[in-house]
Structure 1
Amino acid sequence: MAIGIALLAGFVDATGFLQVDGYYVSFMTGNTTLLALDIASGARRVLVPALLIAGFVLGVALGTWLGDFRQTHRKRRVLSAVIALLVGAASARASGWQAPSLACLVLAMGALNTTLSGNRRNPVGLTYMTGALVRVGQALGDRINGTRASGWSPFVWLWGALLAGAFLGAMATQQVPSAALWIAVTYAALLLLASEVMARRSGSA
């Protein structure tokens, strides 16, 4: 599920990046750097990264509230909210409303990070991969030191999924821009269906 969500995050971030001309809807480290550069250079678009960061935080808050509302069906509630926001983003983009579309996208990506984050101490980053690459680097360092490293391969898969999703999102946005976000909506719906199937098989939510 984490790998599937990372692919969705990469796809959506690529479409948002191309839509807003160089800013991100899920990678807030990049937006923070861009915010500092815009402030230093006096760029008129300084509010763009600032609002994207604020929207992402609000999205995380929304996902956290929905996920913690009850003990069960966390993924169902959070993914349903993400799907609704992606539908809003796709509809707004189709109508030529860029600002509302970006607002829905950044809220969706913030909420998406909370899909699997019931554990506050060890949250799983799903729309950014710096932590995952650090884990891979640590494993390589352990190997050099002669220590057997374990548990690092999932982080390679997460990074690869984000990369693949971003590639597909960029291709879709360039080839079929009017349909790119609807592809994301369809895929998110498939993730929701998959989470329901896995929950039933495991007897949990």
Structure 2
Amino acid sequence: MNRFDRRRQVLAIGLAGMAGYVDAVGFLLAGGYFVSFMSGNTTRLAVNLAGYPATALVPALLIAGFIGGVAAGSVVAARAGTRRKPAVLALVCALVTAAALANAAGHPGAAPALLVLAMGALNNTFQRGGDVAVGLTYMTGALVKLGQALGALLLGQRRAGWGAFLLLWSGLAIGAVLGALAWSHLAGGALWFAAGWGLAMLALSLRLAPEAA
């Protein structure tokens, strides 16, 4: 995060907010399973296997779908070259819009499958050397950076750059709150706002200069 210019930091925070929004709506739509937080689904998978093996298929399929989304996003990013951000976000927008359409058409089971693909693909937006540079759907790394900054402060030292990670985490948290509120008023209709959010992020990415990394 600290190596990015202001526009790219804003894009990253906005996308983290979108991920939080989608995960909250997906969590409520899928009955307590996540569409972007795979550590949570892994725990659900383990608990289900230990106590309720018949229910383990759902988290297993979500984890597999997330991996598939990451793979698809990686291919799109590689093929798009210097315009990979808009290309990846176009894929994400298409998948989120398809989820909204599927839910509106009376196929709510298809919506989480499409959302988990979208969230997997989203993590390819920021790359460096072919690897993910900023995780947008998981915040453990950002919280570790914040903890390290606090530890440095307790040692009488100063560690710069922690503010960007705080904003990244805050984006995810605020997005999740908005997603839960949207669900409480609109139920599955909240997915249309996720699609609109994605389009706004796509438009922002189109304003960035092409880049090699």
TM-score, scaled to structure 1? 0.94
What is the rounded CA distance, in whole Å, between the counterparts of 1:144 and 1:121 in structure 2?
Answer: 33
Asked whether 1:51 is paired with 2:43, we answer: no
Paired position in structure 1 for 2:28? 18
Q: Measure, in 2, the Cα distance between the counterparts of 1:178 and 1:49.
A: 20
1:116 aligned onto 2:126 = yes
| Corresponding residue to 1:185 among 195, 198, 201 | 195
1:13-32 Cα distance to aligned partner (Å, 9 max, x none): 00000011111000000000
Match of 2:142 among 114, 132, 141: 132
The equivalent of 1:147 in structure 2 is 157
Separation of aligned partners in 1, 2:206 and 2:67: 27
Q: Measure the CA separation in 2 of the matches of 1:4 and 1:16.
A: 18
- Cα deviation for residue 122 of structure 1 reads 5.7
SS of the residue 1:172 aligns to: helix
Aligned-pair CA distance for 1:99: 2.5
Structure 2 Cα separation of the partners of residues 18 and 154 of structure 1: 29
Q: Which residue of structure 1 aligns with residue 170 of structure 2?
A: 160
Structure 2 residue runs without a partner (length 5+): 1-10
Once residues 104 and 116 of structure 1 are traced to their aligned partners in structure 2, the CA distance between those partners, rounded to angstroms, is 21
**Matched residues in 2 for 1:58 and 1:100: separation?**
15
- For the pair 1:83 / 2:93, whether they are aligned, the reply is yes
1:2 corresponds to which residue? 12
**Cα 1:100/1:122, change in 2 over 3 Å:** closer
- How many residues align? The count is 202
The alpha-carbon deviation at position 121 of structure 1 amounts to 5.2
Shift of 1:70: 3.4
**8 Å Cα contact 2:18-2:194 kept in structure 1:** yes
1:100 is matched with 110
Return the TM-score normalized by structure 2. 0.91
> Which segment drifts farther, 145-154 or 22-31?
145-154
Q: Alignment RMSD, CA only?
A: 1.4
> What amino acid is aligned across from residue 181 of structure 2 in structure 1?
M
Q: Tell me how far 1:178 sits from its aligned partner.
A: 3.9
